[in-house]
């Protein structure tokens, strides 16, 4: 393709600048978590690991961390089952309303999060469900289904249904075919989808804020209720880095597993 | 020697267990099989999710008794009347839509160079690395990123510290900060579909355009942009919708209220769930119209 030398250099520079724009704020928060000063002034005064030690000893942060992990694992398991079932139905069958289903799956992340949050909290209140870990999981599972669905359906598209037919012809029943043929074919896409679901759940705040109630705090909610307290600032920085790590590492692993397939789709 | 001794022979007939009978029944009736696959997930999505949305819509016609604070389930249009006749709610709705549009346009402008570089210039290796570098922040750390910008933009934060020797100051907290942070947050949601769209544009079309005498800009405007329009619209669904409902960013980096903040306060501070529901219908209707238009323009295939 013909592009002027000037244009090529400009595009290269612009791309570098945008990458810097994306990563500098992330680097800054990591740097601040090691800041020896209690206040966030620039340049930082020195480096310390002290805040990490204090954060891991802090009861609020520990409880929030375990609540976040529990919510993310619960939501991921539900999303795994439901997302896989929908992907199998949509990819391997032709039926009325098929298009609508893929639309329905994406709706929880396409509608503004506040809508999903309030709608679910309204429903929980009206049926008298106590808000807590369980309601957080229900909310998270609802918008996590899409990550599993996208990954599994992308894999199924590239796996011919004729393997499953051959298995049936050789006498394997529906369950055996699923266990021996379909499952091995989609296994890595399930892992990748689950990692993305975990990440999506782990740092979620918009929906969680409405479905958590007063009795339980996830790590993002702990940050949200402490960020404006000056004396908590160093611990908020550490909590922020924890949330970042526990969401960015699963995503990185997911992209390694699938080489971007499926994961590129929002 | 029986046929079972060869590895390619048919599997031995399994015992007639209940599971086996179920499997046989499922095999004979694809409709039942499909129903079995869809029952649980559709139950979840339709009952738990759509059900909640519908209930939410219904509550927007309820009211809260101003003396007792109890819900009055007699349908009325009172909430909608309040929202449409109160000047400040209209202003906030327009401000939010304006912000979402501005953020969308900014992300398109910023996404184009890097998406083009990834799709048409980078080596395979660099491309792979770049895709991962864009996907990581797309999926993770929403609140953390907003919080990082709070540290950057605060009065004695990083930006002012860096700019101080030049005698200038950053924008501080306010609407400019909201614009900046929302653009930052949703930029990856534009880069990825745009990159995928640009990758599908055949290089031969771009060459043909330049062979026919078009320079870089006309080729860009008349060949590339029309071809990637569905991808741009696909990305804009996210940049627009996510800005529209965001109440965290305005809370952390400004004192300005957007629709999300008003809905949040109706529910939390005022304890008026029906009014919150009625006001939430504004972004919902906007997004439904947006999604329908996007579908017509072929954006869903680019999603």
In this complex, do A240 and B144 lie within 8 Å of one another by their Cβ atoms? yes
In this complex, do B145 and A15 lie within 8 Å of one another by their Cβ atoms? no
In whole angstroms, give the CA distance from residue B229 to residue B226.
5
**Under 8 Å between Cβ of B160 and B169:** yes
Dig out the tokens for B71 from the structure. 């819900």
CA A2 to chain centre: 40
Say if residue A221's pLDDT is above 90.
yes
DSSP of B60-73, one letter per residue? TT-EE-TTT--EE-
In whole angstroms, give the CA distance from residue A190 to residue A177.
17
Mean pLDDT on A188-214: 92
In this complex, do A244 and B144 lie within 8 Å of one another by their Cβ atoms? yes
Size of interface A-B (CB pairs under 8 A): 284
Share of chain B above pLDDT 90, in %: 50
For residue A129, whether the previous peptide bond is cis, meaning omega lies within 30 degrees of 0, is: no
Say if residue B270's pLDDT is above 80.
no
**Under 8 Å between Cβ of A81 and A144:** no
Q: Which of B41, B135, B283 sits opposite A263 (nearest CB)?
A: B135
Say if residue A245's pLDDT is above 80.
yes
pLDDT digits (tens, 9 = 90+) for A72-107: 999 999 999 999 999 999 888 888 888 888 888 888
Q: Does A20 touch chain B (CB under 8 A)?
A: no
In this complex, do A227 and B151 lie within 8 Å of one another by their Cβ atoms? no
pLDDT digits (tens, 9 = 90+) for A98-154: 888 888 888 888 788 889 999 998 899 888 888 999 999 999 999 999 999 999 998
Q: Does A43 touch chain B (CB under 8 A)?
A: yes
Task: Band the pLDDT of B1: cuts 50, 70, 90.
Answer: very low
Q: Does B55 touch chain A (CB under 8 A)?
A: yes
User: How far from B77 is each of A130, B62, B114, B281, CA to CA, in Å?
Assistant: 30, 8, 48, 13
A48-76 burial, b at 16+ Cβ within 10 Å, e below that, comes to eeebbeebeebebbeebbebbbebbbbbb
Please name the residue that has the structure tokens 């909310």. Answer: A139
Mean of pLDDT over chain B: 87
**Under 8 Å between Cβ of B119 and B198:** yes
Mean of pLDDT over chain A: 88
* Structure confidence at residue A263 (pLDDT): 44
Dig out the tokens for B48 from the structure. 């738990």
Please determine, for the modelled complex, whether the ipTM score is greater than 0.85.
yes
* Structure confidence at residue A25 (pLDDT): 95
pLDDT digits (tens, 9 = 90+) for B236-254: 999 999 999 899 999 999 9
What does the DSSP 8-state code read for residue A130?
P
DSSP of B146-182, one letter per residue? HHHHHHHHSTTSHHHHHHGGGT-----SSHHHHHHHH
**Under 8 Å between Cβ of B32 and B41:** no
Q: Does B108 touch chain A (CB under 8 A)?
A: no
Mean pLDDT on A200-228: 92
Say if residue B12's pLDDT is above 80.
no
Tell me the residues of chain B between 58 and 77 that have a Cβ less than 8 Å away from chain A. 59
Q: Does A28 touch chain B (CB under 8 A)?
A: yes
Disruptive mutation site among A8, A25, A207 for chain B (greatest number of B CBs within 10 Å):
A25
Q: Which residues contact A240 (CB under 8 A, 6 or more apart)?
A: A29, A33, A223, B143, B144, B147, B148
In this complex, do A111 and B287 lie within 8 Å of one another by their Cβ atoms? yes
Dig out the tokens for A97 from the structure. 């309303």
Tell me the residues of chain A between 227 and 266 that have a Cβ less than 8 Å away from chain B. 227, 236-237, 240-241, 243-244, 247-248, 251-252, 255, 259-260, 263-266
User: How far from B26 is each of A88, A123, A161, A174, B226, CA to CA, in Å?
Assistant: 15, 35, 17, 7, 48
Task: Band the pLDDT of B10: cuts 50, 70, 90.
Answer: low
* Structure confidence at residue B164 (pLDDT): 84
Give a three-class secondary structure readout of B86-125.
CHHHHHHHHHHHHHHHHHHHHHHHHHHHHHHHHHHHCCHH
Mean pLDDT on A29-48: 84
This prediction's pTM: 0.88
State which residue of chain B sits closest to A264, comparing Cα positions.
Answer: B192
Q: Which residue has the higher pLDDT, B64 or A18?
A: A18
Lowest mean pLDDT among A2-11, A58-67, B108-117, B242-251: A2-11
Q: To the nearest whole angstrom, how far is the Cα of B84 from the nearest Cα of chain A? A: 19
In whole angstroms, give the CA distance from residue B272 to residue B291.
29
pLDDT digits (tens, 9 = 90+) for B143-170: 999 999 999 998 888 898 888 888 888 8
pLDDT digits (tens, 9 = 90+) for B55-96: 999 999 998 887 777 788 888 888 899 889 999 999 999 999
Disruptive mutation site among A114, A204, A223 for chain B (greatest number of B CBs within 10 Å):
A114
């Amino acid at each position: 393709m013909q592009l002027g030398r000037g244009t090529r250099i400009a595009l290269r520079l612009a791309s570098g600048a945008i990458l810097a724009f994306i990563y500098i704020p992330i680097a800054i928060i990591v740097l601040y978590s090691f800041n020896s000063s209690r206040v966030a002034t620039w340049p930082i005064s020195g480096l310390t690991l002290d805040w990490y030690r204090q954060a891991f000893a802090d009861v609020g942060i520990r409880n929030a961390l375990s609540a976040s992990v529990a919510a993310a694992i619960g939501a991921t398991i539900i999303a795994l089952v439901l997302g896989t079932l929908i992907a199998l139905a949509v990819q391997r069958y032709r039926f009325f309303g098929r298009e609508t289903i893929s639309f329905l799956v994406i709706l929880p992340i396409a509608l503004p999060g506040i809508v999903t949050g309030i709608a679910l909290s309204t429903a929980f209140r009206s049926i008298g469900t106590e808000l807590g870990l369980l309601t957080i999981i229900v909310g998270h599972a609802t918008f996590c289904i899409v990550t599993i669905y996208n990954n599994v359906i992308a894999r199924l598209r590239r796996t011919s249904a004729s393997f499953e037919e051959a298995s049936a012809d050789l006498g394997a029943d529906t369950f055996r075919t699923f266990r021996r043929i379909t499952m091995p074919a989609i296994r890595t896409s399930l892992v990748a989808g689950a990692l993305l679901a975990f990440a999506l759940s782990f740092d979620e705040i918009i929906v969680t804020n409405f479905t958590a109630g007063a009795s339980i705090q996830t790590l993002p909610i702990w940050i949200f209720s402490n960020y404006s307290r000056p004396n908590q600032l160093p611990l908020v920085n550490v909590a922020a880095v924890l949330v970042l790590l526990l969401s960015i590492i699963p995503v990185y692993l997911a992209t390694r597993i699938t080489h971007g397939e499926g994961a590129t789709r929002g | 020697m029986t046929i079972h001794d060869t590895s390619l022979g048919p599997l031995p007939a399994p015992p007639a267990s209940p599971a086996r009978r179920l499997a046989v029944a499922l095999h004979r009736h694809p409709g039942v099989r499909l129903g079995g696959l869809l029952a649980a997930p559709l139950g979840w999505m339709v009952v738990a999710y759509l059900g909640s949305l519908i209930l939410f819509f219904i509550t927007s016609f309820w009211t809260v008794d101003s003396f007792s604070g109890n819900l009055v389930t007699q349908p009325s249009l009172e909430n909608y009347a309040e929202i449409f006749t109160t000047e400040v709610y209209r202003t906030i709705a327009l401000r939010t839509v304006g912000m979402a549009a501005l953020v969308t346009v900014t992300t398109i402008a910023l996404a184009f160079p890097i998406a083009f570089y990834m799709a048409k210039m980078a080596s395979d290796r660099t491309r792979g690395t770049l895709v991962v570098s864009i996907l990581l922040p797309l999926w993770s750390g929403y609140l953390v990123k907003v919080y990082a910008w709070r540290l950057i933009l605060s009065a004695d934060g990083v930006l002012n510290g860096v700019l101080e020797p030049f005698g200038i100051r950053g924008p501080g907290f306010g609407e400019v900060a909201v614009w900046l942070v929302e653009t930052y947050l949703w930029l990856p949601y534009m880069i990825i579909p745009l990159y995928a769209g640009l990758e599908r544009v055949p290089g031969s079309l771009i060459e043909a355009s330049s062979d026919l005498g078009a320079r870089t800009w006309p080729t860009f405007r008349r060949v590339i942009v029309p071809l990637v329009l569905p991808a741009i619209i696909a990305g804009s669904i996210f940049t627009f919708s996510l800005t529209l409902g965001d109440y965290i960013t305005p809370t952390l980096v400004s004192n300005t209220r957007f629709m999300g903040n008003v809905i949040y306060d109706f529910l939390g501070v005022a304890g008026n769930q029906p009014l919150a529901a009625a006001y939430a219908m504004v972004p919902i209707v906007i997004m439904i119209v947006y999604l329908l238009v996007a579908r017509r323009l072929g954006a869903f295939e680019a999603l």
